[in-house]
Chain A
Amino acid sequence: MAVEVLLWCIAALLATVPAAVAGAHRTPTTILVYAIALVVSTIALGTVAWALVADAAPAQTLSLAIGLPWLGAHFRLDPLAAAFLAVVNLGGAAASLYGLGYGRHEPEPARVLPFFPAFLAGMNLVVLADDAFTFLVTWEFMSLTSWALVMAHHRQAGNARAGYIYLLMASLGTLALLLSFGLLAGASGGYAFDAIRHAQRPATVASAVLALTLLGAGSKAGLVPLHVWLPLAHPAAPSHVSALMSGVMTKVAVYGFIRIVFDLMGPPAWWSGGVVLLFGGASAVLGVLHALMEHDLKRLLAYHTVENIGIIFIGLGLGLAFAANDMRGPAALATTAALFHVFNHSVFKSLLFLGAGAVLTATGERDMERLGGLIHRMPYTALAFLIGSAAISALPPFNGFVSEWLTFQAILLSPQLPQWVLKFLVPAVGGLLALSAALAAACFVKAFGITFLGRARTGVAQDARETDAFSLTAMFVLVVLCLAAGLLPGYFIDALAPVVRDLVSAQMPRQAVIAWLTIVPIAESRSSYNGLLLFVLIAVAASLARYVIRRWASHSIRRSAPWDCGFPDATPVTQYTAGSFAQPIRRVFGTVVFRAREEIDMPRPGDARPAQLHVRLHDRLWDALYAPVAHLVDVTADRVNRVQFLTIRGYLTLVFGTLVALLVILAVWQ
C-alpha cells in the first residue's frame, strides 16, 4: 500500500517536469512546480513516517513492468528505506516551501524548474529500488539531474569547472558501484537484491565489494579523499538545491553504503569497521579544518558536510566493528548514533543552506568578508541561522549534540573489542571526533559572527532586507525540528529501532518509557542525558536571573559609541574579518595540514603603498592524488592529439597496421 502511494508521488513529481519545461518563464509555473513538490513531498513524508512508527508491517515489495524487458523494476519499502525516505522527503518539503518564495528571484527559471522535481523523484527512486539495475539507473538519474542544477548558473565564474569535476567524480562513483554490484551478483547474475542477499561469496570478493562501495557511495557522500567535487558543486547550485544536495543527496549516498555493506554483503569482516572508521575520522577533521579556512559562506557549509559525513561514517564503522565481533548491543548503539546523525545533519544543514540562500538573495554576496551586521536587517534569518549553527556545533540542548553524544558512548564501549588494531584506532578516532566538534564550534562562531554580527562591511550588507515569508517558514520548521530532536531524542531513537534491528539484529532499549524522558543508551549508572531537563534548567535560570535583575538592580541603559579600550575605530573595515578570526587556528593546525605560509609585504618608511599580507594554502590531497592524474591525462592527450593531424597516407598505414596486428592476435589465439 505504502509503496504504491510513494510511486504515485514519484510519478506526480515526474509529471510536473514537462509542465515546468513548457511554462518555465511564467511566475505561476514557478509557484505551481514548488507547490506540487511541497504537497507531494509532504504526502510521501507522512506515508513513510506512518510506516516507520507503525513498525508492524513487514517489508512491502512491488514490481513494475518497466525498464529491462523480462526483468522489470523492483521496489521495496523496508524500515531502512522508510527512514531514509523520511529524510529525503523532509528535505524535499522544506526546500520546496523555501522555493515558493526564493524561486521568484531566480534569474534563469528554465534551468532550475524542470530539474528540481526530477531530482527529488530520482532520490526517492534510489531509496526504493530493490534490484541492482533500478538502483544504478536511478542513481545515475539523480546524479545527472543534480548536475544540471549545479550548472544552472553556468556563466558564473567557477561553476563550469565545478560541474565538470562533479560529472567526472559522479561517473567514477557510478562505475565503482556498477562493478560492486557486478561482484555481488556473481557469475549466476541475480540482480535482484533478494538474490544478492542470499548468495554466498568468498571473503576476497566481499573485501573488493567493500572497497568499491566506499569508492562509489563515498565519493557521492563526500568522504575524504573523494570529497574534492563537493565544496565546488554544492555551493554552485541555487541555495535550496544546495540544501537538498548537502542535506539530502549525501544521505542517499550513505543509504547506498548501508544497503550494500550492512544488508547485501553479508556478515562483515572485523577490519572493514577499521577502514570505515579511518575514512570517517579523516573526513571529520579535514572537513572542518577546510571549512575554517573558507570565507565563502556556502562553501564553508559544504565543507561542513564533509565533516558531518565523517561523523556518520565513524558511527557506521563502529557499528561494523561491533557487529563483526558479534557484540550486538554496542553495534545497535553505534548504528543508531549514525542514523540519528543522518537525520540531524539533514535538518540543520538544510536550515543553514536556506539561511545562506536568504543572505545571498538579500545581498548578492557569498563572501563573508563583504557582509556583517545582518542581524539588524534580517533578524528572523539571523535567529534561524544562529540555532542551526548551535545545532551543527554539537551544543546542548540542540540535536547535533545528542547524536555525537551517542557516538561517544559507543566509542567508550570499544575496549571490549578483541582486535588490537581497533583498540588503538578507536580512541584515536574518538580524539579526532572531539577535535572536530570543538573546531566546528569555532567555525560557526566565525560564520555567524562575521556574517550577522558586527557592523556592515559594504553597502549591500547595509541595505539588506529580510527575506520573504515562505523562506522564513521553511527555516523555522527546521528550527523546530532541531529543537524537537534535541529535547525529545528518545522518540527519534525509538523510531529508528526497527531500522537498526534489521541491520544488526539488535536494538537499543526503548527510550520513550524512561522516566522524565531521559535517554539511557546502556544503563542508568553508566550514562544518561536529558535534553529537555537541561533546556528547562537553562530557561528557568536565565529567566530567574533576568527577573531578579529587573526587580532589584538598575534598569537604565545609555547608548553610546563603543568603548574599545578608548580607541573606537571609525570605519567598519577595521573589524575582525573571517580571515583574521581564523588566523590563530590557521597557525596552530594549518602549517601542518595545509602547508600554510604567510608572506608580509611591508613597504619601507615613507613609501605610501599599502602593506599586504598574503596567505598561501595548499590542498595536500589535491596535490598528491588528483593533480598527478590530471597531469597524466593532459600529457597523454597531447601525445594522442598528433593522430588528428596525419596525412591520408598516414591514416591508411594506421588502418593497415591495426588490421595486421588484429589478425596476428587472432592467429596466435587459435
Chain B
Amino acid sequence: MAVILDVLVQLGHSLLVLLLAPLLTGYLRKIKAHLLRRQGPDLIQPYRDLHKLLRKEVVLAHNASWVFRAAPYLIFATTWGAAALVPTFATGLAFSPAADLIAIVALLGSARFVLALSGLDVGTSFGGIGSSREMMIASLAEPALLMIAFTVSLLAGSTQLSSVAAFMQGPTVGLRVSLAMALVALVMVAVAENARIPVDNPATHLELTMVHEAMILEYSGRHLAVIEASASLKLLLYLSIIVCVFAPWGVAVAGQGLAAYAASLPLYVIKVAVAGFLLAVFESVIAKMRVFRVSEFLGAALMLALLAALLLFVSRGV
C-alpha cells in the first residue's frame, strides 16, 4: 500500500513538472517583455502554441529517416524522465534512487545526443551548424556541470539530490567559497544549456546566431510541439536543480503526508518564480555574444567549477 502511494506521489510530481514547464516559459517571456516596456503575450500563450502545433500537419523532408521521426519522442521522454527525478516540492520520492545528480546530467546528455543527430538527419547546412555548435557548447558545459556535481556531493557526502538537499538545510553548511563558485558556474551552465542569451537567443531566427533553433529548423507540427515542450521541461529542470541545491528551505520529505506537500508546493513555485525573474533580468541587461566567445564564457564556468571542487578536495579529509 505504502509503495503504491509513493509511486502515485512520484507520478503526480512528474505530471506537475510537465504541466508547470510551459508556464515557466510564458512567465519568462512576460517578464522580459515588461522589462522592455512591452505588453507581452499571455502567461498561457505557450500552452496555446503547443495546442496549435499539435493540430497542424507535419511537413517532413523527403529524405528524413526514422531517427528524425523518433527523435522528438526520445528527447521528450529523456528530458521528462530527468525532470521527474529532480526533487521539487519533496525529496526522497519513489524513483529518486534510480538516478543521482551525475546520472541526471548524463540523461540530459542522452537527450542532447539525439537532438544533435536529428539536426544532421535531413542533411541541410543549418541543421549541421546547429548540431556542431551545440556539441561544442556541450563539450564545455557538461564537464562544468559534472565538476559542480563533484563540489556539491563532496560537501554533502552524496551525489543523491535528496541527500544533498537535506544536507544543505542542515546547520553544518555555513558560507563557503566553493559553494558560491559552484552557484555562479551552475547559472552560467544553465544559461548556455537552455539556449538563453548571451549564449543563444530563443527568440531569434537570424541564421548566424542560431544554435538550438537551427537544429530544430526542419521540425513542424506535433514533432515541434514535443520538442518545444522538452525545451521548457529542461529549463524548469535546471531551475529546480538550482533551487533544490542552493535554496532547499521548506522542502517536504517523502512520507510526511499530503499536508506537508501542500505547504511546500507553493513555496517551490515561488522559489522558481524568483529564480526565473532573476534569469529574465540577466537576459535583458546582457548582449548576445559571438559563438566563439561562448567557449571563453563556458571555459570560465568550467574553471570556476574545477576550482571549487579542487578547494574542497584539498580542504577536506585527513
Contact = CB atoms under 8 A, between A and B. Distances in A.
A554 B81 contact: no
Given A395-B109, A439-B139, A454 B122 contact: yes
Given A542-B76, A554-B56, A427 B126 contact: no
Nearest to B167: A525
A556 B223 CA distance: 12
B123 A453 contact: yes
Contacts of A574: 125
Contacts of B159: 408-409, 412, 526-527
Contacts of B313: 414-415, 423-424, 426-427
A58 B24 CA distance: 62
Interface string B77-121: 110110010000000000101111011001101101100110111
A549 B122 contact: no
Contacts of B135: 441-442, 445-446, 581, 584-585
A545 B61 contact: no
Interface stretch (A249-257, A272-280, A559-567): A559-567
Contacts of B110: 390, 395-396
Contacts of A516: 97
Contact of A437 (B107, B142, B302): B142
A561 B312 contact: no
B36 interface: no
Nearest to A396: B106
A445 B113 contact: yes
A635 interface: no
A428 B310 contact: yes
Given A453-B121, A526-B157, A564-B126, A395 B106 contact: yes
Interface in A578-614: 580-585, 587-588
A441 B134 CA distance: 11
Given A529-B99, A580-B132, A564 B218 contact: yes
B99 A534 contact: yes
B63 A376 contact: yes
B67 interface: yes
Interface in A436-457: 437-439, 441-442, 444-446, 448-450, 453-455
A379 B65 CA distance: 10
A557 interface: yes
Nearest to B50: A553
B74 interface: yes
A423 B291 contact: no
B80 A541 contact: yes
Contact of B138 (A411, A412, A441): A441
A576 B113 contact: no
B139 A423 contact: no
Contacts of B153: 412, 527
Interface stretch (B143-151, B243-251, B254-262, B272-280): B143-151
B160 A545 contact: no
A4 interface: no
B306 A427 contact: yes
Interface in A517-541: 518, 520, 524-530, 533-534, 537-541
A624 to B, nearest CB: 25
A427 B150 contact: yes
A372 interface: yes
Nearest to A588: B295
B136 interface: yes
B207 A565 contact: yes
A580 B128 contact: yes
A155 interface: no
A449 B77 contact: no
A527 B142 CA distance: 20
Contacts of B119: 449
Given A408-B146, A415-B313, A453 B77 contact: no
Interface of A: 372-373, 375-376, 379, 386, 390, 393-396, 401, 405, 408-409, 411-412, 414-418, 420, 423-424, 426-428, 430-431, 434-435, 437-439, 441-442, 444-446, 448-450, 453-455, 516, 518, 520, 524-530, 533-534, 537-542, 545-546, 549, 552-554, 556-565, 568-569, 572, 574-576, 580-585, 587-588
Interface of B: 54-63, 65-67, 73-74, 76-78, 80-81, 84, 95, 97-100, 102-103, 106-107, 109-110, 112-113, 116-117, 119-129, 131-133, 135-136, 138-143, 146-147, 150, 153-154, 157-160, 163, 205, 207, 217-218, 220-222, 225-226, 291-292, 295, 299, 302, 306, 309-310, 312-314, 316-318
22 contacts: A376-B65, A386-B67, A405-B102, A415-B316, A430-B150, A435-B139, A449-B121, A453-B121, A518-B97, A525-B160, A527-B100, A530-B97, A537-B81, A553-B54, A553-B55, A554-B56, A556-B58, A561-B61, A563-B61, A564-B125, A564-B127, A584-B291
5 closest A-B pairs (Cβ-Cβ)? Answer: A576-B128, A454-B123, A449-B120, A542-B77, A584-B136
Given A423-B313, A431-B147, A438-B143, 19 more contacts: A405-B106, A412-B154, A434-B142, A437-B109, A441-B142, A445-B116, A453-B123, A454-B122, A526-B160, A530-B98, A534-B98, A534-B99, A534-B107, A539-B77, A554-B221, A563-B59, A563-B218, A580-B132, A584-B136
